[in-house]
Amino acid sequence: MDLPKLTVKIASHNGADVAQLLFSKNDELLQLLRTTKFLRWSKTMNCWYLPYKPTIKNYLVTLLKGKAFLDYSNLPASDNLKEEIISSVEAKEKMQTNTALTLNEESKTKVKEFEDWMRSKRYSNNTIGTYSDALKIFLRFYSHKTIAEINNNDVIIFNNEYILKNRFSSSYQNQVVNAVKLFFRTIEMKLMVIESIHRPKRQKLLPNILSKEEVKELLDKTVNVKHKAMLSLIYSCGLRCGELLRLKFEHVDTKRNLLIIKQAKGRKDRITPLSLKISALLNEYYKTYKPQVYVFEGQSPSTMYDERSLQQVLKTNLLKTSIKKPVTLHWLRHSYATHLLENGTDLRYIQELFGHSSSKTTEIYTHVSTKSLQTITSPFDYL
């Protein structure tokens, strides 16, 4: 799972210096940032911001550790932390005389070459950003070395002296190792023996779901027909948020009761059944709003509906319910898969509906389905 990227820039707002927080729409990252009471939204700057202080970098590093890639290159050099912890005495001495380590010209050229290679291979923008950011951090850590001098043992040192010391997540560690491996194999034509590098075991987290009763309550409390259609379609077809917002009318096949999802995650097309009930709801919505290009459009005609606005729709309607869980839009997708499984749908069909390349990804829903568990009688009942 790719970590989101957050860029920090200083700006003047209402006569005061503020730190702009620039990032692609991400519900989990926004929820994390909202843990600080100082977070504000600016319509004029069209971004979230915090009051600027020289300690803002330290604060954000602590808050986002292992949760996001933090780009603070636009901050003054005095604000930069000594982030790169080098194991050798020579490197430490060098760091003391250069507190704002930056990429040298060789590293900048190589990172640009790496980005161009990934772009030519049609990697997604998120992957390109994640891998190039990870590589930059790794190369800054070894700024005292030429790239040709870096070897397998240096990756192990980086894991111990940077990743583990800073208590970054295991997924972040894997991303850096993947980026370094790909860079050296494709750009440097040098094979890193990844098997000798310690890789952490991935956390096995269960997906969060709502019960059928909770989904029904949420949709019943959503009065606005457009908002209800959006949330209902996410649940009834197991859509990701971006998949819903990119839908156009040619993707809705009402004659065959199918929804066509084009170029979803992994650049894969897939189809999913469209229930008669959701078709009727979409028809009611269309008569009221008459969208032109996208199924769900923003305030301006023919423009895609804003993801942040959709997240706010969910948040607003949740307040009308008795649900106290920290629900996100993706919970509806997880709930759809789990409820399909509980209704007796074969796991192979769910895999196809969700566009999963591996059945192992789909099998996680067997761990949250309660239908089989509820048939088990505890030995305690016989005591």
pLDDT digits (tens, 9 = 90+) for 369-383: 655 555 555 676 665
Judgement on whether residues 288 and 319 belong to the same structural domain of the protein: yes
Give 296 or 362, the one with higher predicted confidence: 296
Judgement on whether residues 311 and 257 belong to the same structural domain of the protein: yes
Judgement on whether residues 273 and 153 belong to the same structural domain of the protein: no
Residue 377, domain member (yes or no): no
Judgement on whether residues 99 and 192 belong to the same structural domain of the protein: yes
Portion of the chain with pLDDT greater than 70, in percent: 83
Judgement on whether residues 133 and 271 belong to the same structural domain of the protein: no
Per-residue pLDDT at 383: 56
pLDDT tens digits, residue range 238-261? Answer: 888 888 999 998 888 888 888 888
Judgement on whether residues 238 and 273 belong to the same structural domain of the protein: yes
Judgement on whether residues 192 and 240 belong to the same structural domain of the protein: no
Catalytic residue among 131, 142, 235, 365: 365
Residue 167, domain member (yes or no): yes
Judgement on whether residues 224 and 363 belong to the same structural domain of the protein: yes
What is the 3-state secondary structure of the chain?
Answer: CCCCEEEEEEEEECCEEEEEEEECCCHHHHHHHCCCCCCEEECCCCEEEEECCCCHHHHHHHHHCCCCEEECCCCCHHHCCCCCCCCCHHHHHHHHHCCCCCCCHHHHHHHHHHHHHHHHCCCCHHHHHHHHHHHHHHHHHCCCCCHHHCCHHHHHHHHHHHHHCCCCCHHHHHHHHHHHHHHHHHCCCCCCCHHHCCCCCCCCCCCCCCCHHHHHHHHHHCCCHHHHHHHHHHHHHCCCHHHHHCCEHHHEECCCCEEEEEEECCCEEEEEECCHHHHHHHHHHHHHHCCCCECCECCCCCCECCHHHHHHHHHHHHCCCCCCCCCCHHHHHHHHHHHHHHCCCCHHHHHHHHCCCCHHHHHHHHHCCCCCHHHCCCHHHHC
Portion of the chain with pLDDT greater than 90, in percent: 15
Catalytic residue among 94, 181, 265, 315: 265
Q: Which of 150, 167, 196 is the last residue of a domain?
A: 196
Residue 207, domain member (yes or no): no
Interior CA angle at 314 toward 313 and 317, to 5°? 85
Residue 33, domain member (yes or no): yes
Mean pLDDT across the chain: 80
pTM here is: 0.55
Interior CA angle at 167 toward 161 and 171, to 5°? 100
Judgement on whether residues 109 and 243 belong to the same structural domain of the protein: no
Residue 204, domain member (yes or no): no
pLDDT tens digits, residue range 269-284? Answer: 888 888 889 999 999 9
Per-residue pLDDT at 88: 34
Please indicate whether residue 162 is annotated as part of the active site: no
Residue 374, domain member (yes or no): no
Please indicate whether residue 265 is annotated as part of the active site: yes
Per-residue pLDDT at 224: 93
Rounded Cα–Cα distance for residues 235 and 239 (Å):
7
Q: Which of 137, 165, 196 is the last residue of a domain?
A: 196
Per-residue pLDDT at 231: 95
Please indicate whether residue 333 is annotated as part of the active site: yes
Residue 201, domain member (yes or no): no
Please indicate whether residue 348 is annotated as part of the active site: no
For residue 102, give the CATH number of its domain. 1.10.150.130
Lowest-confidence segment of 66-70, 235-239, 305-309, 357-361 by average pLDDT: 357-361
Judgement on whether residues 261 and 164 belong to the same structural domain of the protein: no
Q: Which of 161, 196, 231 is the last residue of a domain?
A: 196
> Mean pLDDT throughout 56-84?
68
Instruction: Look at residues 273, 278, 248 and name the one whose alpha carbon lies nearest to residue 263.
Output: 248
Catalytic residue among 5, 144, 246, 333: 333
Q: Name the domain count of the chain.
A: 3
Catalytic residue among 140, 145, 226, 330: 330
Tokens representing 72 are: 């603070």
Please indicate whether residue 356 is annotated as part of the active site: yes
Catalytic residue among 67, 240, 334, 339: 240
Show the domain range for 70. Answer: 5-79
Residue 380, domain member (yes or no): no
For residue 324, give the CATH number of its domain. 1.10.443.10
Judgement on whether residues 174 and 45 belong to the same structural domain of the protein: no
Judgement on whether residues 142 and 242 belong to the same structural domain of the protein: no
Please indicate whether residue 240 is annotated as part of the active site: yes
**Amino acid type, 353:** L
pLDDT at 86 > cutoff 70: no
pLDDT tens digits, residue range 166-220? Answer: 777 777 888 888 899 899 889 888 776 655 555 555 555 567 788 889 999 999 9
